[in-house]
Amino acid sequence: MSGLKELSTWIGQRRSDIVGDLAAYVTQETPSDDKSLLVSGLTWIEDWLSTRLGRPAARRMIDGGQWGDTVVLDYPSDSGSETWITALCHYDTVWPAGTLRNWPPTVEGDRFSGPGAFDMKGGLVQLVWALKASKDLGLPRPNVRLVLNGDEELGSPASRAVIEKEARRGDAVLVFEASAGGALKTARKGVGIFEVTVNGREAHAGLDPEAGASAIDEIARVILQLHSEADPGRGTTVNVGIVHGGTRTNVMAGTATANLDVRVSSDAEERRISAVLKRLTTRHEHATLRVSGEWNRPVMMRSPQTACLFAAAESVAGELGFELAETSVGGASDGNFAAALGLPVLDGLGAVGDGAHARNEWISVEGMLERTCLAAGLLALLHDSPGIVQRSADVADAAVA
């Protein structure tokens, strides 16, 4: 592909500007549970986007209610391309307000550290500079529709419908979540978040135990049963991470709850675990059990379309002089929603680094430059080879005008 050498040089010459943009972005605190900070953070992002890319051709804002808002921005191709790529980037982070006081953005050698840099502010910076490089160097690219949502770390409760609608309007989806040790993500597990509530019967634990029904005893049995349903060989994990119950040591517990996280690698395993949850019951006749919650994200399978999309990225990486790997991960992203619609989805196009949701979160500056070139090169290839993102008929029929 012509122009990649010039692209690498151009990006390298703007290293300080790219790092400066990331530092400025990281200083915008955007915790998922703080609507006012999310609003101000999104305002900053849109102002910055206008500075770097100019005003979008179209803008749609969707109110997220108590959660972060979602904005959709269209950046049409200058070459008249008919292909539309949907780019997913969430701007919320897990870090609470005030984190920056003891952890400001820092650069030590090749390492940039700061809250949210790896997950996933670095990814958006890379995409923006890839688009800017395409524009300034006259590189061809498809139309790009950028979806920015502020509730991903909470499971995307307000933005899921928006993401699905916008993804259907496009031909393929690129997700700028962080890479996995440098590898792109072509498959992700589905996620279910559930709560099991047991109501028992309180009684004095010493004087009249036979009159009671311990909810804690019942929930303990349920937890053991649930954990026994994990099947690592099939990619299924079941984890009860939070347990509450009881009031006093000398009172048989009247209520108890268990909150669990389930990860599955196939639709068949999702159905199996759903059946397990439906069959849960109590041992004591005076105890009752209720399961609430849902499958938060569907399984992201490695479809032939996604494999083709990865092969395209791999070829661009080869021309840029580095090897690109793919992997399947247990974590989920908004890409799961798009993949469940039958669209080709390539995830993990964001930062190279480590420490998501941890105090040692960091990204490689050289990795940022490399992946910015990869994004621009991939967009150019998708422009020149639109068949790579050919949608299946059922997705096309479901497209929203």
Q: Is the pLDDT of residue 32 over 50?
A: yes
pLDDT for the residue 387: 84
Section 33-58 average pLDDT: 98
Average pLDDT, the chain: 95
Section 183-192 average pLDDT: 97
pLDDT for the residue 386: 83
pLDDT for the residue 394: 53
Share of the chain above pLDDT 90, in %: 94
pLDDT in tens, 225-263: 999 999 999 999 999 999 999 999 999 999 999 999 999
pLDDT class for 397, splitting at 50, 70, 90? very low
pLDDT in tens, 136-184: 999 999 999 999 999 999 999 999 999 999 999 999 999 999 999 999 9
pLDDT in tens, 313-350: 999 999 999 999 999 999 999 999 999 999 999 999 99
pLDDT class for 399, splitting at 50, 70, 90? very low
pLDDT for the residue 375: 98
The answer, yes or no, to whether the previous bond of 120 is cis (omega within 30 of 0) is: yes
The pTM of this model reads 0.91
Structural domains of the chain in order of their starting residue, each with its CATH number: 4-188+300-397 (3.40.630.10), 190-297 (3.30.70.360)
pLDDT for the residue 1: 61
Section 32-45 average pLDDT: 98
pLDDT class for 26, splitting at 50, 70, 90? very high
pLDDT for the residue 389: 81
Q: Is the pLDDT of residue 200 over 60?
A: yes
pLDDT in tens, 278-312: 999 999 999 999 999 999 999 999 999 999 999 99
pLDDT for the residue 401: 35
pLDDT class for 206, splitting at 50, 70, 90? very high
Q: Is the pLDDT of residue 15 over 90?
A: yes
Q: Is the pLDDT of residue 3 over 80?
A: no
